[in-house]
Amino acid sequence: MSIYFIRHGQTDWNKAMIIQGQIEVPLNEVGIAQAKDVALRLKDVHLDRIYASPLSRAIDTAKIINEYHHVPLEIDARILEQYYGELEGKPRSGDVYLSHRHTIPTRYPGGEGYFDVVYRVYDFLHQLEKEHSNEDILIVAHGGMARVFHSYFVDMDNDTFTHYGMENCAVATYEWPKREIPSFKGIQK
């Protein structure tokens, strides 16, 4: 099974470097053009299904791509962008945002931390692996989700994790891990 991860097309807030988080911000004209371009690039790629975040910028990007595939398009809240709480709608250059972005175990004020997001995204990926292990799947989500998806398939140190990013409508391709992930054994008596 192949997983194709795509960050949604550009919005006005992406362009202005404003934290969107879970605020509904639509694609702008550039974002629509980006989605059409990536749809053309992927038109001959086999897909069995598409998953999208519940936000319109992801759904609209997925619908444009699906014009060439006509496969089931499913919405899943587990791949919704990270909730940045009080920082949503504020500039990405703010000190509070930047300090929390580089402190993995903490939550954004009134929002989620990376561990919260990892919990829901890994749950989503475990379910896909269990239920759709022989399918090729496209996932349309967000920039914050990109680093979490990448961390599922590729080991990263903290610095690499916090700096990992994708441009709008960029595509990352993953295969299910071939390495065995050890399970927790607990305390042996």
- 169-61-133-149 Cα dihedral, nearest 10 degrees: 50
- Whether the CB-CB separation of 141 and 65 falls below 8 Å is answered with no
Cα(114)–Cα(104) distance, integer angstroms: 6
Six token digits for residue 126: 């475990």
The gap between the terminal CA atoms of the chain, to the nearest Å, is: 40
Catalytic residue IDs: 8, 81
Angle at 15 between CA 12 and CA 20, to 5 degrees: 65
